[in-house]
Amino acid sequence: MRCLNTIIFSILFLATIPLLAQDSSLIPKVSSYLESNGTIKQYKNAYRELLNLMEKQFPKSDRNSNGWLYLERNETKALTEINDLLVPIYIKHFNEQDIDKMQAFYTSSSGQQLVKDRTKLTDAQRKEVDAFFGSKVGLKIKTKQQILSEEIAGVSEYWSKDLYQTAVLLLKEE
């Protein structure tokens, strides 16, 4: 199974190299977008939930303390890895102007409130959200939602399985 995951990941990675070479200026913009739209926060929460799960399965002890130390210090690296897997997906589907408009929306007060708690949007913010999703880039997002979801699910599954397997290997008391 791990071999299959490695092959799938390698194919995805090799397919994105030309995209990254062409649009390397978009990498920081997409990374910033993933921060502002709450994506990275979701993965950060997932990482912390994994640690909580692991602590129930593999309580901290002298025998696995090095594994715990590694996992506790590895969060930033793990988030960088998922970011690096997600960026090519967005570069493949959106151009620089799209990313700029998406970033502008998600850094606005309406976009931030949408990410924080959509049930607390004001009427004015709701209108701004509707206007964004009714705009050319908003409609493009809707049109690509299915394929984006599938591609993101693929890299998310790869990332989370790899993270889980690493955690188990590090924390198993032998």
**Given this model, what pLDDT does residue 25 score?**
87
Q: What gap in Å lies between CA 172 and CA 2, rounded to an integer? A: 19
pLDDT tens digit sequence for 41-70: 999 999 999 999 999 999 999 999 999 999
Q: How confident is the model at residue 19 (pLDDT cuts 50, 70, 90)?
A: very low
Is 61:173 a contact under the CB 8 Å cutoff?
yes
List Cβ neighbours of 23 (8 Å cut-off, separation of 6 or more): 91, 96
At residue 134, the 3 state secondary structure works out as: helix
Please identify which residue in the block is written with the tokens 């930033």: 76
Burial of 106: CB neighbours in 10 Å, binned 0-12, 13-18, 19+: buried
Burial of residue 60 (CB within 10 Å: 0-12, 13-18, 19+) is middle
At which residue do the structure tokens 């990313």 appear?
A: 99
| Average pLDDT score over the chain | 90
Delimit the domains of the chain by residue range.
2-171
Residue 137: Cβ within 10 Å count: 19
Question: What are the Cα distances from residue 162, in Å, to 59, 153, 157?
Answer: 20, 14, 8
Q: Which residue matches tokens 């708690």?
A: 117
Could you tell me how many residues make up the chain? 174
Neighbours of 67 (CB within 10 A): 21
Helices (H) and strands (E) in the chain, counts: 9, 0
Report pTM. 0.83
Whole-number Å distance between alpha carbons of 10 and 147? 19
- pLDDT grade, residue 16 (50/70/90)? low
